[in-house]
Amino acid sequence: MSVSRAEACRRWLNALCEYMDGELDEELCAELERHLAECAPCTTMLETMRHTVALYRRWGRAELPEEMLQRLKSIVHSHLSSDTEASTA
Amino acid sequence: MAANSPPAFDEQTLLHALQQGDRRACDELVRHYAPRLYNVALRLVGRPDEAEDVLQETFIAACQKIKQFKGKARLGTWLYRIATNNGLMRLRRRTPAISLDELAESWEEAEPHIVQPWPEDPEKAVDMAELRAVMEEAIRTLPESLRMAFVLRDIEGLSTQEAAEVLGISPGALKVRLHRARLLLRERLAEYFASAQEEGTR
């Protein structure tokens, strides 16, 4: 890989995130797509970053235990009740 | 939507009911937002019991202050902000804030080293329990500021603007953190897929 190619890849690496999110400026977008068409490593970076986000989007949310949800509801209720009693006392 | 899903959520109706002091609306608020806030709180403080405390404080504060809510942000964004602030306060009591040196290190670490294609459908190519354990470890060890940008933006699905508002930083700063987080997580998973492929060809 030539030095200029490596430098181009480094520059584009910083734009991949915005590109993935559809937040990259239109002109830069076209320029990046031309680069991607001829650069396998950058294409792999883009694909593997997309996989990373997709995996976390699907599996990355910690699940709230049902009993915790019930405790939360009852604690919030009891706090609100004691607030109302205090304000009407 | 699944057949047993609750009726469609209407933020404006809920907000109106909350501001009228409707108790059932508080239940609805907890039911709808607790799963999302729990993920954020747990990712922030790291322990389920502390995350539960953060949620309690958040919902009590939200129900008490709901009349002050002016609707400039979405209700969810407002709740994420309260929960994040509560979580950060707890965290700061336990560990000091991350230094700029550590952030600089995380940037150096974010340089990609393993750049080889992954299987087309990564979930089918490896043991999911093993992959999920790697994913958990990777996100757990991210610097907190990067982790929170990633959790809010990529797991919770907030917009760049909303996630930046929750964290009290500019959209530009949010994008930088998110980019670093994605690079670091990608690298950890790339290591895993590379070793899994190697084992598979042995």
Q: What is the pLDDT along chain B (202 residues), one digit of tens a residue?
A: 444 555 567 888 888 888 888 888 888 999 999 999 999 999 999 999 999 999 999 999 998 888 888 888 889 999 999 999 999 999 888 776 665 556 556 656 678 888 899 988 888 888 999 999 999 999 999 999 999 999 999 999 999 999 999 999 999 999 999 999 999 999 999 999 999 888 876 5
C-alpha B95/C-alpha B81 separation (Å) is: 20
Question: What DSSP line would sit under chain A, residue for residue?
Answer: --HHHHHHHHHHHHHHHHHHTT-S-HHHHHHHHHHHHH-HHHHHHHHHHHHHHHHHHHH-PPPPPHHHHHHHHHHHHHHHHHHHHHHH-
Residues in chain B with CB shorter than 8 Å from the CB of A17 are: 175, 178-179, 182
CATH topology of domain B100-201: Arc Repressor Mutant, subunit A (1.10.10)
pLDDT of residue B186: 97
Domain B11-94, classified CATH 1.10.1740.10, yes or no: yes
Residue-range domain boundaries for chain A: 3-64
Which residue, among A48, A73, A83, would best test binding to B if mutated, counting the most B CBs under 10 Å from its CB? A48
Contact B43 A62 (CB under 8 A): yes
Identify the sign of the CA torsion B148, B151, B153, B156.
Answer: negative
pLDDT band at residue A1, thresholds of 50, 70 and 90?
very low
B 66-105 → A contacts, CB under 8 A: none
In this prediction the ipTM stands at: 0.86
CATH 1.10.10.10 placement within chain B: 100-201
Average pLDDT over all residues of chain A: 87
pLDDT of residue B42: 96
Under 8 Å CB pairs connecting chains A and B tally to: 115
The answer to whether A80 contacts chain B (CB < 8 Å) is: yes
CATH 1.10.1740.10 placement within chain B: 11-94
